[in-house]
Structure 1
Amino acid sequence: MSPALRLSTLAVLAFSVLALVGCERSPAPGQARVDLRHTRAPGGTPVVSWAGDRVTAEELRQRLEEMSPAQRERYQTLERKREYVEGLARYELLVQEALARGLQDDPEVVAATKRALVSRLMRARLDDALPPVSEAQLADAYARHREDYVRPEQVRLSHLFLAAPRSDAARVAPARETAGKLLAEARALPPTDFAAFGRLARAHSEEPRTQPLDGDLRYRSLEELARDFGPELAEAARLLVPTGPGTLSGVVQTDTGLHVLQLTGHQPALNQTLEDVRTALSGRLAQEQRARAWTEWLSELEQRAALAVDAAALARVHVDLNAPVRPASGPAPGTLPAPFPSVQVTPP
């Protein structure tokens, strides 16, 4: 099969027409007249012709230059070039036949045409119109989100705490005995069964902020742990890191009481400069810019067209769950394309 015959049928779908040649009167809203002929560009030397149209040497040269050198190698002989232009012509004859049969009004063709038009509109409105991300925008975004790129080492712990101030020896001794028993229970659990350790903490911990959270301390730096719970706990956490999540500490004494710790997560220190994250950050800002511009422009289009939803009429539309499924007549509701689906932008 020649390369021309392998061309995507989207070329037909994307430019379906109501007539081959437009007339003077403008089409009504929702209708279109598109000239699909090669002769819409005047001049040139025809290399293949058929009723009402032709391909010129100039167009053929352009098509060949769009190919890679390896592909062009195939068309060095007259026979191969003839095969190619005849393929182009046969493709156009199929387009004419489709139009003669009125297939431009087929729901599938109309739906594909709409998708192609909206896709091209998006490129024209966003890719071609929006300025690139500036250095000032990059620097500002890096400063606002610096904690995403520069942060100290962090650990996540769950702890079981027994209140026994270091200065109160009468309370420390029995609390240490209890802590030892609870530590033995914890060591009997599967190392990565964090939920099991959490149930133990919820049942026995005496730290009111974390007990309802199954003892979870969330991610904190070692400095934060030392500040909030004491340097002994921070040092115990540092020693747990090399053996990985699930590791248990011994009984750790701090000024306020006794802790049994389990390491549940670890994040190494991060120190990325603006240059380190330039490409990713620029892409992220470009996505946000595209999404914001698209949302704002859609809002303008809605206002210009006086878009209105009749809630009363909409409420009367019955959704029959038992009706048989009909063949699809177009794209499903809610298929409006987004510049980047992962970016959420609040409409203005």
Structure 2
Amino acid sequence: MSPALRLSTLAVLALVGCERSPAPGQARVDLRHTRAPGGTPVVSWSGDQVTAEELRQRLEEMSPAQRERYQTLERKREYVEGLARYELLVQEALARGLQDDPEVVAATKRALVSRLMRARLDDALPPVSEAQLADAYARHREDYVRPEQVRLSHLFLAAPRSDAARVARAHETAGKLLAEARALPPTDFAAFGRLARAHSEEPRTQPLDGDLRYRSFEELARDFGPEVAEAARALVPTGPGTLSGVVRTDTGLHVLQLTGHQPALNQTLEDVRVALSGRLAQEQRARAWTEWISELEHRAALTVDAAALARVHVDLNAPVRPASGPAPGSLPAPFPSVQVTPP
């Protein structure tokens, strides 16, 4: 245990000798180093000790390289005296009443909540099962398996093939608009969008600055014609910002700009197992944590006086006061403190 964490435990009120049960928010705790009777002491001080049995266990918990350091009596003495001196500092802190110091109390609360979360979420919740993984993969399969997609903005001029005069007029207008588009910075998608909003005659996308969102080539062919799909495919090698020429379809003329590209995705369950398992575990923890907090609130009859709360004035112009103590605790997010990465 780190010195900071061990010191933080002092904040739990040590009401030793008090026969009554502690009040809510108070607790009795035994801060002696050795609480179990028996054993052979190797170092003792004012009612406490380190035993030979504990020392053997501590040494066995070390790596062989660490144990090499404690082969001599002098080194073992240095080690146990260090343990004893630390405990003397704990006793002195208690003698000075530091268990009630606001910083120690705040640190203890954080340590208690952290340990409670581990006990409630890490230790108690079952691991994600194979059935849960398979179900989640099936429900979100489109996130892992999808065809190649492109995102386009387009400027459309209505001109059915059957109306030659209208096609001619639209073609002349489209050529002028294409020249304007080519004069714009290639990646200034907003500028092309303004051009589409001002001139496009496609009612579904004109209010969206001509944005077609991400679509597969099959969807483009179905919704706008195979000519648009083929023109879009030709834009991919040169990347976002590339403009097409004037593309003619049965319904009219298009000027296209490539704004995004997503390659085809074909990830199996094995490919995404680690990431998906982590996401499901986080979702499981979040649900369990929310449900348990609600249960604690119910057991404690937690209520909020909305009227009194509304009367608390927040003065934006008041000067900032010096901190009166440590910042109060807040509800932590129920996510793992250690992230598991795939091998």
TM superposition score normalised by structure 1: 0.90
Match of 1:197, SS state, is helix
Runs of 4+ in structure 1 off by over 6 angstroms are 1-12, 341-348
Deviation at 1:332, TM superposition (A): 4.0
Q: Which moved more, 1:157-166 or 1:69-78?
A: 69-78
Per-residue CA deviations over 1:48-95 (Å, capped at 9, x if unaligned) read 111121111222233233333333332222212211111111111111
79 and 5 in structure 1: CA distance in 2 versus 1, 3 angstrom threshold: farther
Q: Decide whether the 8 Å contact of 1:107 with 1:329 is kept in 2.
A: no
Supply the distance in 2 between the matched residues of 1:324 and 1:346 (Cα, whole angstroms): 47
| 1:317 alignment partner in structure 2 | 312
8 and 80 in structure 1: CA distance in 2 versus 1, 3 angstrom threshold: farther
| 2:4 alignment partner in structure 1 | 4
Per-residue CA deviations over 1:292-344 (Å, capped at 9, x if unaligned) read 00100110111111101112222233334454444545564572112129999
Supply the distance in 2 between the matched residues of 1:81 and 1:55 (Cα, whole angstroms): 12
Match of 2:314, SS state, is coil
143 and 343 in structure 1: CA distance in 2 versus 1, 3 angstrom threshold: farther
| 1:15 alignment partner in structure 2 | none
Deviation at 1:2, TM superposition (A): 13
Per-residue CA deviations over 1:5-45 (Å, capped at 9, x if unaligned) read 99999999xxxxx3374544321110011101122122222
Match of 2:8, SS state, is coil
Supply the distance in 2 between the matched residues of 1:220 and 1:48 (Cα, whole angstroms): 75
Supply the distance in 1 between the matched residues of 2:303 and 2:4 (Cα, whole angstroms): 45
164 and 189 in structure 1: CA distance in 2 versus 1, 3 angstrom threshold: same
Q: 1:249 aligns with which of 221, 241, 244?
A: 244
Supply the distance in 2 between the matched residues of 1:168 and 1:4 (Cα, whole angstroms): 83
Q: Decide whether the 8 Å contact of 1:291 with 1:345 is kept in 2.
A: no
Per-residue CA deviations over 1:238-295 (Å, capped at 9, x if unaligned) read 1100110000101100111000000000000001111111111111111110110010
Per-residue CA deviations over 1:212-243 (Å, capped at 9, x if unaligned) read 11110000000000000000000000110011
314 and 112 in structure 1: CA distance in 2 versus 1, 3 angstrom threshold: same
331 and 232 in structure 1: CA distance in 2 versus 1, 3 angstrom threshold: farther
Supply the distance in 1 between the matched residues of 2:3 and 2:327 (Cα, whole angstroms): 33
Supply the distance in 2 between the matched residues of 1:204 and 1:128 (Cα, whole angstroms): 62
292 and 103 in structure 1: CA distance in 2 versus 1, 3 angstrom threshold: same
Q: Which moved more, 1:156-165 or 1:43-52?
A: 43-52
293 and 265 in structure 1: CA distance in 2 versus 1, 3 angstrom threshold: same
Supply the distance in 1 between the matched residues of 2:340 and 2:285 (Cα, whole angstroms): 10
Q: Which moved more, 1:322-331 or 1:225-234?
A: 322-331
Q: Which moved more, 1:279-288 or 1:59-68?
A: 59-68
Q: Percent identity?
A: 96
Q: Decide whether the 8 Å contact of 1:4 with 1:84 is kept in 2.
A: no
Q: Which moved more, 1:281-290 or 1:335-344?
A: 335-344
331 and 162 in structure 1: CA distance in 2 versus 1, 3 angstrom threshold: farther
170 and 343 in structure 1: CA distance in 2 versus 1, 3 angstrom threshold: farther
Aligned residues: 343
